[in-house]
Structure 1
Amino acid sequence: MLGRGERRQRARNALEELRKALRLALGAAAAARQNAQTRKDQLEFEQQVMRLGLARARLDPAILEARQQPALAQTWDKVIAERDELYAEWHPKGPHRLRELVKEHSPGVAGAPWQEWLGNPVSQKTGGETPAMWRIGRAVVEQAPHEEEFPVAVPLLDRAHLRVTSVPDSRSVVDALVETLLLRLLSTYRPGLIRVHLWDIGHLTGSLPNLQPLTAAGLLTVHDPTRLDDLLADMAGHIRRVHAKAMRAGETSLRSVCVTNDERIEPWRVVVLFGNGDRLPDEQQRELQRVARTGLDAGVHLICVDVPLSANSPMETIMFSDAQHATTTMTGTGVAFHPDPAPDGGMASRAVTKIAEDLITRRGKPRTFADLLPGELGQLSSREELRAPVGFADGVPVEVVLGDATPHALIAGPSGSGKTNFLYAMLGGLAARYSPDELELYLLDFKEGVSFAGLAPGRKDPSWLPQARLVGVNVNTDREFGLALLRFLTQELARRAEAAKRQEVTKLSELREAEPEGHWPRIVAVIDEFQALFGGRDRITQQATVLLEDVARRGRSQGIHLVLASQDIAGIEAFWGKPAVFEQCTLRIAMPKAKRVLSEHNNAAISLPRWHAVINHDSGVSHGNQVAHIPDASAKGTFDDLQKKLWATGTSLAPALFDGAHQPLLGDAADFVDPSGPLLGQVIEVSCRAAAVSLDAVPGRNLAVIGTATEDALSIMESAAYSLARKHEPGSCDFSVWCAVPALQERVTRLARILVAVGHSVDLRTGEDIAQLVPSSGERPRFILFFAVDSAHQWLERKEPPAMRSGLDDFRALLKNGPANHVHTIGWWRGTGRLKDTLGFGGADDIGAWVALDVQGAELNSLAAGQVIDWSPRPKRAIFFDKSIHSSPDVIIPFDTLDPS
């Protein structure tokens, strides 16, 4: 056993060993910490040097002081050695390689010194592939002896934005850099393909003075320094519109569309913003970020000077340290960038003046209706949409599009503003591109004119527009015809919807693919002065409102498009609180001085010159404005020549023509070829069919004509007689023609002679003998044409002994029993009271159909089986009601019967 002293000693020894181990561990840790700190200091020192660049680092006081430390001095030597090693590799071939790269990717004007191209003839390049780089200056590796300069270029068009940060003494150099870059862009492409927008927070004018001549041609727009919001909103709207156009072309960006077509379909927008280094207000900053993020694919590019900007999109930066030196993100630190010398101010001003003049000359080139037409007629498919140019902006066609995205159009312009001319330009552009199998037109003009009459065959010109299926003119008093058109469109909607349901599809394009054998053209219904439909507080207004809203809402998917035109839409009370129609009219066209058609704060049309229009596919919002010059489309040798060419090559049927200012001829009526019964007049509806009465051998099959409008009553009576004579073979029926009015005897006698001439027997009576010659029955049909029945009451009411039975009693019996025995009466009474006097108590059922002329609707209710008749008389119009088929009367136009053949 160890003694106490020995154990104590061993404990002391162990404790000493522990202390020794701890001292070693702490020393090692301190050394490791010191080494780590030294390494950290070296890395931070190296990073600081690299950030400043060797040239600046040699002179920087903090760097000079740090180099006094041995460890950091070693790092400095290491950086110098690495630089020397890299430079030894770079120097023989680096600058040459960069010069070749810039030359390859910045061809021609994009990379050549300004002395070689400034002021040369204006370029004709129209688009296609753009230069990948654009020269901005030259650079040299800092502190490298005998170094060669090399060019510096940056990506821009379709590839990146540019941000420049200046210092107080460098603004003139920055202005020259931006101006030279813009001159390169403008001199590379045909005038008009580069549009510059300039905003300077400190100046309304004065920035980039050598470019100011461009403003006269619209190539440079200087924006109010207090209205940056408007500029950003305009660019945002342009981006949306361009993206929609690219998507319609099946591409993802405007650049891909232009490369595919090898021609620019939209100009580039270069937005130059001069700030003061401060961040913009939050809302403007967010909008600017959005433009930067989405603009490249739409051809919108930013050059921001002293405007803080960081966007998730390609962006190059130039940061000036003094008036002549800068660094760029294209070259990095350690390379001194020097902007190219500014071009001669006089040469620059003359060059841009030449560019502006060239564009003005191009604009001045007469643009005619022929320029709207394609090389080959009728080659496009309407499967997805309809599109056609209607005018020009800087020589570039401006199109209207009707499809799923823009289903309906609203056009407004005061009288004389060119609205009708615009409609002809649009119709011509569409008809030239789409055959009748792809497009059908229904055209209605409510004003007192014949704007569309020439699209149907006429006496002087037998041609018609093959795509037109209906032409209605002078419809200002026939609102029923507009209602009939809306009913037709609703029925066509139902037909297409049923077919789509059958094929389990939702859109016209899908239906056409699923059922290619069907006839599914797109339909465009043009209604000029459409507000006339809603001019009264009556049944027509109520029904038209419902139908128009339905077509506007559902027409989008079924390929039925409305084009509604008006002088002013402000007074349409029917749509107060019902915006469904206007919301669907996303295509808005405003003629000069038009009001209310664009959005509330969009006044672009107020100052428009004549022959121009604002085309807006974005519901009238300002950013959607496109101002176009509309060529003359209605003069002789324009639309009429196109129509004749289309008519000569087509086989389509002539359109139905409804002219409210003229009575239709009985001989021209399609139903007159093989009438089903007595024809009374033309029904005001899309088919323009004739109103006819079925005179079957059943009770009540008599017709009453009611009213004092003598000429119209005679027309209806004669139409019935001539059509019955045509329906029956000569000698197969008999006619009784009775008239007790001396003033009408000449006209009635003429009618009788014509009936005899075509082979029918006629019993003509014009005096007291009417009362004794009332036939009761016959072996073959007999038709009694009784003119002015009430005028014969003086004879019919006489009662002769011994029977004391009057002729009126016999006539009432004839009305009651005659139809079942093939004896039908077509009588004319000059008032509802006189008709009731003739019929007597309980005789109303003996008149199964009637035509009313100048009779108020309230007087007719008792004759319409309890229906409320909403009718206000007007010249050359009547209403026809047949109890067996009608729920409400048809409005008809009496035929002109002077030449019934």
Structure 2
Amino acid sequence: MLGKGERRNRAEQALAELRSVLGLALGAAQNRRTRAETRKRQLEFERAVYGMGLATAARDSALMASLADDPARRAVWQRVTAERDRNYAEWHESGLGAVRDVVAAEAVGPAGLPWEDWLGKVGRDPGASAPRLWRIGSARVEHAPPEHGFPLAVPLLDVGHLRLNSVADSRAAVDSIVESLLVRMLSTFVPGAIRVHLWDIGHLTGPLPRLHPLTAAGLMVVHDPTRLDDLLAGLAGHIRKVHAATLRHGAGSLRETCAAAGKRVEPWQVAVLFGNGERPADELYRELNRVARTGPDAGVHLILVDVPVAGNSPMETVTFVDGEHATSSMTGPGVVVRADAPAPAASVSRAASAIGEVVLSRRGRPRTFADLLPDTLCQESARDELRTPVGFHDGAPVEVVIGDATPHALVAGPSGSGKTNFLYAMLGGLAARYPPSELEMYLLDFKEGVSFAGLTPGRKDPSWLPQARLVGVNVNTDREFGLALLRFLAEELARRAEAAKRQEVTKLAELREADPDGHWPRIVAVIDEFQALFGGRDQITQQAASLLEDVARRGRSQGIHLVLASQDIAGIEAFWGKPAVYDQCTLRIAMPKAKRVLAEHNNASVTLPRWHAVLNHESGVAHGNEIAHIPDASSRGTFDALQRRLWEEQSSPVPRLFDGAHQPELLTAAAYANPTGPVLGQVIDVADQSACPRLDPVPGRNLAVLGTATADALSIMESAALSLARLHAPGTCDFSLWCPVASLHERVGRLAEVLTGLGHVVDLRTGEDIATLTEESAERPRFVFFYAVDAAHPWLEVKEPPLMRSGLDRLRSLLKNGPTAHVHTIGWWRGVGRLKDTLGFGGTDDVGAWVALDVQGQELNSIAAGQLVDWSPRPHRAVFFDRTTHARPQVVIPFDTSTAMDPS
């Protein structure tokens, strides 16, 4: 057992060991804390150095002085600068040259070269693309020597925007960057490819004065500093228009559209906004950000100076730190940016003036119809659309596009406004680009005139427009012809729709791919003064409205396009409550002073000068307006010269001409060359066909001509007789000509001479012997032509003993029994009532066909097999009905038989 002293010694020894251990632990903790505090101080110092940049830190005298008293900081500084030197050496070895090579390759021409190489020269055509980078100055790593600098270029056109943030005394450098960048762009491309907008919140006269010569040429617009809203609204409208156009082409951006077209289809819009660092009002700020977000895809780009903007748009930023130096989002804070030295002011002014003069001289040179035409004729495909320039704006062509997205067009302009000239410019441009296999035209003019007649062969000029298939002129009184055209288009639409259904496709382009051997051209139907179709409250108006609406609605997918022109499209009752036609006519063309063709509140046509037009592919909405000067396309040596060239180079059938002001000649009728029966007149229809009923040996195959219009009645009788004489070989049929009217004897006698000269036997009766009539049967066909039957009634009504049978009884028997025995009667009665008197009760079945002249429609209802005849008489027109073949009567034009009746 230990003693008390020994226990005390052991306790003191243990306490000493504890104190030693605790001392060691406290010392270790203190050392760790010291090291941690040192490390923390080093990290904070390193962060501060990287935050301000090594070059800036090296210039900070307080920070550099702290290194002498703090070995830890000094160690960090030595390591960081060593790493910088090592990294810079590696970058200088390979990266610096690579940067210079990239800028040289992507900022070609004026986009990257010194101004001495290009300033004052006119640029090239932009083609489909722009340089990817644009030089704005030079840059170098902060500590690097000047000779280690490199060019700084930023993406802009078709990519994004540029923002410049200034400080005091940096405005000169900012203006230098902006001016240099604009001059580079303007000098890279042909004048007109870049449109500049300037807005400065603090300058009433506008910034960048050396570029102001561009304003006279319209290449630069200086906007009112108080109306930023107008500028942004204009840019937004332009973006909407371009986006709509790109979507029509199935592209996502203007850049893609240009790439597909292989050319620039829309100029770039560059808006330079000089602000004061304050955020615009909320609505303006939202509109600015919308433009910034959607602009690049539409070719709209912003250069913002001290204008705040949200960070959700493609934008590079240059921020000045003093009057000359800046940093860039392209290179980061460790790189010093400096603006290039500006070109001499006089040189910039001269260059701007030269660019403007090119535009003015190009605009000043009279643009002619020849400028609308391609270098090589008829080389383009209409698979997807039809496209042609029709005029010019600032020397640049303005195009009309007709396709799936803009299927139909409305053209409006008062008399003398140039509407016809515009149509010629459009038709000429289309014909010059698309061969007849790609494009067919159907042209109809309801005015009194011959606007389109020259597109068919004439006495002086035998040429015709190869793409024209039908030309109708002077049809102001022949609304049936317009209805026939719409009916033809509807039938063609049904034919194409059926073919598309068989091929399991929906569009013309797809049908052409599925059936490459088929004939599927695009069809353009131009109807001038189309409102004449709806000028009456009758069946024509109802049917035309229905057909036009159907073609307008469904034609887009099958390549059938309407161009509807009018002096004033207001007040068309047929379309009240039927907006389908107007809605489908998304292409609107307004001539000077035109009304109601553009959208409401779009008054662009009111101040339009003569020979100009507003073209709008956006249903007339204001942002779609394009102003174009339309060159003279209708004078001698313009369209006619093109037509002759096309006629000589392109093979196509002769188009059909329908001229409502002239009676067609019998000798020129296709049906007269190869008749199948009596030719009565030309049917008002798209096809060149004649009214030609068959006279088969069956009951009722007789024909009545009704009315008091003597000249037309004689023409119909003569046409029928001459065509029957042509149908039968000489000596194989006989003719009986009966005429009780003395004033007609000479004319009927001349017909008898012509028939006899053709080798036929003619029985000519002009007196009371008519009452004896003829046999009801014959060994060979006999055709009885009875003129003014009602005038012979006094002779026919005499009853002869002993049977007390009259000539009228024999005539009725002839009409009843003659056709089955090859004896057919073509009689002329001067009224429906007179015909009924002749036929008697129940005899109307014995006349199976009739031609009515100056007879009202309601008088014809009783002999039209239950049809309602909607007919009002007019000169040199007749209505024909054959109960065995017709669902409704046909309007016909009696032939001019004067040449055919000449015995010589």
Partner of 2:268: 268
Secondary structure of the 1:881 match is strand
| CA distance 1:516–1:230, change in 2 (3 Å) | same
Partner of 1:14: none
Partner of 2:548: 548
Query: Which deviations, in whole Å up to 9, do the C-alpha atoms of 1:795-832 show, x marking residues without a partner?
Result: 22233444333322222222222222222221112222
Q: Judge conservation of contact 1:235–1:291 (CA < 8 Å) in 2.
A: no
How far is the alpha carbon of 1:36 from its aligned partner?
Answer: 7.8
Map 1:384-463 → 2, pairs under 5 A: 384-463=384-463
The one-letter code matched in structure 1 to 2:548 is L
Q: CA–CA distance in 1 between the matches of 2:26 and 2:853?
A: 121
Q: CA–CA distance in 2 between the matches of 1:513 and 1:631?
A: 37
How far is the alpha carbon of 1:666 from its aligned partner?
Answer: 0.7
Secondary structure of the 1:526 match is strand
Partner of 2:765: 765
How far is the alpha carbon of 1:40 from its aligned partner?
Answer: 6.9
Partner of 2:235: 232
How far is the alpha carbon of 1:308 from its aligned partner?
Answer: 2.6
TM-score normalised per structure 1: 0.89
Q: Judge conservation of contact 1:328–1:337 (CA < 8 Å) in 2.
A: yes
Q: Judge conservation of contact 2:664–2:895 (CA < 8 Å) in 1.
A: yes
Q: CA–CA distance in 1 between the matches of 2:779 and 2:202?
A: 103
Q: CA–CA distance in 2 between the matches of 1:877 and 1:38?
A: 113
Map 1:476-487 → 2, pairs under 5 A: 476-487=476-487
Partner of 2:846: 846
Q: Which runs of 5+ in 2 are unaligned?
A: 1-16
Partner of 1:747: 747
How far is the alpha carbon of 1:69 from its aligned partner?
Answer: 11
Q: Judge conservation of contact 2:234–2:623 (CA < 8 Å) in 1.
A: no
Q: Does residue 709 of the first structure (1) align with residue 719 of the second (2)? A: no
| CA distance 1:440–1:99, change in 2 (3 Å) | closer
| CA distance 1:31–1:360, change in 2 (3 Å) | farther
The one-letter code matched in structure 1 to 2:438 is E
Map 1:147-158 → 2, pairs under 5 A: 151-158=151-158
Q: Judge conservation of contact 2:243–2:254 (CA < 8 Å) in 1.
A: no
How far is the alpha carbon of 1:414 from its aligned partner?
Answer: 2.1
Indicate the percent of aligned positions where both proteins have the same amino acid. 67
Secondary structure of the 1:682 match is strand
Partner of 1:12: none
Map 1:188-337 → 2, pairs under 5 A: 188-201=188-201, 205-224=205-224, 225=227, 226-240=229-243, 243-244=246-247, 247=249, 254-255=254-255, 264-280=264-280, 284-310=284-310, 312=312, 314-337=314-337
Q: Judge conservation of contact 1:45–1:72 (CA < 8 Å) in 2.
A: no
Partner of 1:780: 780
Q: Judge conservation of contact 1:66–1:72 (CA < 8 Å) in 2.
A: no
Secondary structure of the 1:227 match is helix
Partner of 1:818: 818
| CA distance 1:801–1:200, change in 2 (3 Å) | farther
Q: CA–CA distance in 2 between the matches of 1:647 and 1:386?
A: 21
| CA distance 1:795–1:623, change in 2 (3 Å) | same
Deviates more, 1:832-841 or 1:479-488: 832-841
How far is the alpha carbon of 1:852 from its aligned partner?
Answer: 1.2
| CA distance 1:701–1:125, change in 2 (3 Å) | closer
Query: Which deviations, in whole Å up to 9, do the C-alpha atoms of 1:132-191 show, x marking residues without a partner?
Result: 433323445557788866543323233432011234654454334312221122123222
Partner of 1:10: none
How far is the alpha carbon of 1:352 from its aligned partner?
Answer: 0.9
Map 1:563-574 → 2, pairs under 5 A: 563-574=563-574
The one-letter code matched in structure 1 to 2:514 is A
How far is the alpha carbon of 1:37 from its aligned partner?
Answer: 8.7
Secondary structure of the 2:536 match is coil
Q: CA–CA distance in 1 between the matches of 2:642 and 2:828?
A: 49
| CA distance 1:25–1:625, change in 2 (3 Å) | farther
TM-score normalised per structure 2: 0.89
Deviates more, 1:255-264 or 1:182-191: 255-264
Q: CA–CA distance in 2 between the matches of 1:255 and 1:161?
A: 15
The one-letter code matched in structure 2 to 1:862 is S
Q: CA–CA distance in 2 between the matches of 1:259 and 1:758?
A: 70
Query: Which deviations, in whole Å up to 9, do the C-alpha atoms of 1:865-895 show, x marking residues without a partner?
Result: 2221111111111111111111211011111
The one-letter code matched in structure 2 to 1:821 is A
Partner of 2:5: none
Secondary structure of the 2:332 match is coil
How far is the alpha carbon of 1:596 from its aligned partner?
Answer: 2.2
Partner of 2:14: none
Q: CA–CA distance in 2 between the matches of 1:286 and 1:30?
A: 59
Q: Which runs of 5+ in 1 are unaligned?
A: 1-16
Deviates more, 1:339-348 or 1:666-675: 339-348
Q: Judge conservation of contact 1:469–1:654 (CA < 8 Å) in 2.
A: yes
Q: CA–CA distance in 1 between the matches of 2:75 and 2:243?
A: 54
The one-letter code matched in structure 1 to 2:234 is L
How far is the alpha carbon of 1:783 from its aligned partner?
Answer: 1.6
The one-letter code matched in structure 2 to 1:231 is G
Query: Which deviations, in whole Å up to 9, do the C-alpha atoms of 1:441-499 show, x marking residues without a partner?
Result: 11111111111111111211122122211111111111111111111111111212222
Q: Does residue 619 of the first structure (1) align with residue 622 of the second (2)? A: no
Partner of 2:835: 835
How far is the alpha carbon of 1:340 from its aligned partner?
Answer: 3.4
Q: CA–CA distance in 2 between the matches of 1:681 and 1:535?
A: 25
How far is the alpha carbon of 1:127 from its aligned partner?
Answer: 4.5
Q: Judge conservation of contact 2:129–2:264 (CA < 8 Å) in 1.
A: no
Q: CA–CA distance in 1 between the matches of 2:30 and 2:523?
A: 89
The one-letter code matched in structure 2 to 1:410 is L
The one-letter code matched in structure 2 to 1:235 is H
The one-letter code matched in structure 2 to 1:666 is L
Deviates more, 1:653-662 or 1:418-427: 418-427
Q: Does residue 474 of the first structure (1) align with residue 474 of the second (2)? A: yes
Query: Which deviations, in whole Å up to 9, do the C-alpha atoms of 1:91-110 show, x marking residues without a partner?
Result: 98788886676556545533
Partner of 2:669: 669
Q: CA–CA distance in 1 between the matches of 2:337 and 2:187?
A: 24
Q: CA–CA distance in 1 between the matches of 2:856 and 2:789?
A: 20
Q: Judge conservation of contact 1:239–1:294 (CA < 8 Å) in 2.
A: no
Q: CA–CA distance in 2 between the matches of 1:128 and 1:407?
A: 26
How far is the alpha carbon of 1:311 from its aligned partner?
Answer: 5.3
| CA distance 1:100–1:694, change in 2 (3 Å) | closer
Query: Which deviations, in whole Å up to 9, do the C-alpha atoms of 1:311-357 show, x marking residues without a partner?
Result: 55542101234443432213322444333344444443332112101
Q: CA–CA distance in 2 between the matches of 1:676 and 1:459?
A: 30
How far is the alpha carbon of 1:238 from its aligned partner?
Answer: 4.7
| CA distance 1:33–1:559, change in 2 (3 Å) | farther
Deviates more, 1:462-471 or 1:373-382: 373-382
Partner of 1:109: 110
Q: CA–CA distance in 1 between the matches of 2:511 and 2:67?
A: 80
How far is the alpha carbon of 1:841 from its aligned partner?
Answer: 2.0
Q: CA–CA distance in 2 between the matches of 1:205 and 1:559?
A: 52
Partner of 2:807: 807
| CA distance 1:24–1:157, change in 2 (3 Å) | farther
| CA distance 1:498–1:346, change in 2 (3 Å) | same
Deviates more, 1:166-175 or 1:144-153: 144-153
Q: CA–CA distance in 1 between the matches of 2:706 and 2:331?
A: 96
Q: CA–CA distance in 1 between the matches of 2:858 and 2:143?
A: 104
Q: CA–CA distance in 1 between the matches of 2:614 and 2:41?
A: 66
The one-letter code matched in structure 1 to 2:110 is V
Q: CA–CA distance in 2 between the matches of 1:838 and 1:160?
A: 89
Partner of 1:9: none
Query: Which deviations, in whole Å up to 9, do the C-alpha atoms of 1:532-564 show, x marking residues without a partner?
Result: 111222111111111111112222222222222
Secondary structure of the 1:813 match is helix
Partner of 2:8: none
Deviates more, 1:43-52 or 1:31-40: 31-40
Partner of 2:183: 183
Partner of 1:859: 859
Q: CA–CA distance in 2 between the matches of 1:240 and 1:794?
A: 82
